[in-house]
Amino acid sequence: MKRNRATFYTLNALPGILILVVLFLIPLFFTFSYAFHDNGKALVEIFKDEYTYRLLVFTLEEALLSALISTLIAIPLASFFSKYTFPLRRTVLTLSGLSFTIPSILVVLGFVIWYGNNGLLNAFLMKITGRDYTTLQILYSFKAIILAHVYLNFPIAFLLITNAWTEMPDTPEKAAYTLGAGRARTFIHVTLPRLTPAVLSAFILIFLFCFSSFSIILVLGGNPAYSTFETEIYRRVNINVNREEAAALSIFAFFITSVMLIITSRGRKNQRATRKEKTLEKAKGKTLVVAFLLILLILLFILPPMLSIIYRAFYTKAGDFTLRAWNDIAKGSTGLMSTAMSGIINSFLIALLSSLLSVYFGSRIALASAKRNSRILPVISSMPMATGSVTLGLGFSFLAATVGHDSIYFSYILVIAAHLTIILPFAVRTITPGAKMIPDSLAAASYTLGVSAFRTMRKVEKPILSPYKRKAFAFAFALSLGEVNATLTLSDGHVSTLPILIYRMISSYNYQGAAALGTLLLAEALIVFAIGEGGRKHAIS
């Protein structure tokens, strides 16, 4: 009977699995065929080329450093936030969750406007110091890349570690104190071992994000010396126009990412959720002052780049109020602005369609994976993560070149297919914990009432998944909305989305236009974030 049930869930997930595998294999097949073109000459050269290994070292270096700094800053803050309760605590934690939905191109734009040599921070510093030269030179350097990565990812580490720490009952710590252990000894021997899975999980997540970082490296690095696999593949396709080399480099990067995914997935264990959370102490006196100082520090780090985007959308560099960029968008005037409105519509429609599809198929795959307790399904659904989005975009562009179809609709289909392939693994990952929480006894109870497996899934199990599906939709929508890597590599001008327009405007120093579009993208990201956070969960006690 259990086998029958497992088969039912597998059959239900089969269309999604097939689409995922096909969408993943097609670009990979074309990439391989280009890489092995001319007896694999390009591939041999890539493996022999010292530059490939320099790319590997740099990619590892920036990803490791970004993950390390983000985690190290997050731990002491999480320690405070998981011990005390104070006004605005929940708000700061909710705001940290925004990092999951903020597109990286907005970080790039925010950094350029806020930290740039002619940025708002420098203008402010010049005003208060009375100097007539730039005080802070951050952008277009290695430190800019790390700072942007930390900016984008430290809140993720902060949120994950704080949540895990808050959920950890503090009875073992109390037991250690009664045994005479001091605070430091208790932290090292009791707290840290229990906290390690959460810290490691945050570290790995950030490391993988930064390993495939694209727009931050491309713009904020500002120098070909700061190249990762993703940016180098893009350069070889679009600047050097050497598709064979780009394909060969993709294969190399695919190999490296696969190895890393295998290593990192082995280290991760599913943690059992504990029901008994510890009671937080109310912050008073000095602790309350510390709490407000910490909040101020976090907000001063997080808010200015984003707020500066909104400010720059309405003010000129000289500080005069203007609606020029908005008028350009509305009128569809010349240059890049002429495509702004279509970019806004494109982005919205592509994100909507691909995220709806990803949640539809993702929820079925997640249910099958949880009900079968499958090991293979999570691996299959993670496969596109190993490829990297630039490689996927490259593969789809090879497909377009092979088919020789020049229709704009075909380009749209390819972009949606690429987005779906990129976001489906995230949708599955977001929904799977929800599917795992549904006890088997719930379906069993329904069956003993004479109700069919299909109706049980529809009426009993799916409603429990809805908060996870809503979260997955928000996450997938945000990812698709902010997607630059694959879209830029694949469409190269055919399909303009908001992030691509912003990227191009930054490249052509039209910061006002970029900020106006950035404001719209930020608004969309905030709406999506609110959708993901909204709604109540159906309790399973």
Partner 1 sequence: MPYLEIRKLEKKYKDFTLSASFGVDEGEFLCVIGPSGSGKSTLLSLIAGLDKPDGGTVTIDGKDITKMKIQERGIGMVFQDFTLFPSMNVEKNIQFGMTEKKAEKKKISDALLSLVGLEGYAKRSVSSLSGGEAQRVQLARAIAAKPKILLLDEPLSALDAPLRKSIRSSIRAIHDALGITMIYVTHDREEAFSISDSILIMHDGKTVAMGTAEELYRHPKDLFTAFFTGEGTALPAHLVFENMEGSVFFRPENAVISEESISAEMYPMHVVFPDAEIISCEFCGSDYILGLEYQGYPLLCQSATKPRRKTVSVMILKESILNLQ
Interacting residue ranges for partner 1, rule: CB under 8 A: 1-3, 439, 441-442, 444-452, 459-460, 463-464, 538-541
Pick 39 or 541: Cβ nearer partner 1: 541
- Nearest-approach distance from CB 457 to partner 1, in angstroms: 12
As a whole number of angstroms, the distance between CA 133 and CA 113 comes to: 17
Pick 300 or 539: Cβ nearer partner 1: 539
- Nearest-approach distance from CB 446 to partner 1, in angstroms: 7
Pick 1 or 128: Cβ nearer partner 1: 1
Note the Cα 68 to chain centre separation in Å: 17
- Nearest-approach distance from CB 429 to partner 1, in angstroms: 23
As a whole number of angstroms, the distance between CA 202 and CA 154 comes to: 9
As a whole number of angstroms, the distance between CA 122 and CA 112 comes to: 11
3-class DSSP state of 117: coil
Pick 379 or 444: Cβ nearer partner 1: 444
As a whole number of angstroms, the distance between CA 243 and CA 238 comes to: 9
- Nearest-approach distance from CB 398 to partner 1, in angstroms: 46
How far is the CA of 238 from the CAs of 45, 79, 102, in angstroms?
A: 20, 46, 26
3-class DSSP state of 315: strand
- Nearest-approach distance from CB 166 to partner 1, in angstroms: 22
Burial of 375 (0-12, 13-18, 19+ CB in 10 A): exposed
How far is the CA of 308 from the CAs of 105, 150, 321, 373, 512, in angstroms?
A: 14, 18, 14, 47, 11
Pick 189 or 459: Cβ nearer partner 1: 459
- Nearest-approach distance from CB 434 to partner 1, in angstroms: 12
- Nearest-approach distance from CB 435 to partner 1, in angstroms: 14
- Nearest-approach distance from CB 459 to partner 1, in angstroms: 7
- Nearest-approach distance from CB 452 to partner 1, in angstroms: 6
Nearest in space to 232 (alpha carbons), one of 485, 43, 504: 485
Pick 270 or 441: Cβ nearer partner 1: 441
3-class DSSP state of 498: helix
Pick 3 or 48: Cβ nearer partner 1: 3
Pick 12 or 186: Cβ nearer partner 1: 12
Pick 456 or 480: Cβ nearer partner 1: 456
- Nearest-approach distance from CB 321 to partner 1, in angstroms: 51
- Nearest-approach distance from CB 370 to partner 1, in angstroms: 16
List beta partners, residue 321.
315
User: How many C-beta neighbours within 10 Å does residue 39 have?
Assistant: 8
Q: Percentages helix, strand, coil for the chain, rounded to the nearest 5?
A: 80, 0, 20
To 10 degrees, what angle do helices 37-48 and 2-35 make? 90
Pick 273 or 449: Cβ nearer partner 1: 449
Pick 225 or 449: Cβ nearer partner 1: 449
As a whole number of angstroms, the distance between CA 396 and CA 224 comes to: 25
Tracing tokens 């945050």 back to the chain, one arrives at 202
Pick 266 or 536: Cβ nearer partner 1: 536
Burial of 266 (0-12, 13-18, 19+ CB in 10 A): exposed
Round the CA-based radius of gyration of the chain to a whole number and report it.
24
- Nearest-approach distance from CB 465 to partner 1, in angstroms: 10
- The residues near 427 (Cβ < 8 Å, ≥ 6 apart) are 355, 358, 359, 361, 362, 363, 472, 473, 475, 476
How far is the CA of 506 from the CAs of 199, 390, 419, 485, in angstroms?
A: 35, 20, 23, 16
φ, ψ dihedrals at 315, nearest 5°? -125, 145
Burial of 290 (0-12, 13-18, 19+ CB in 10 A): middle
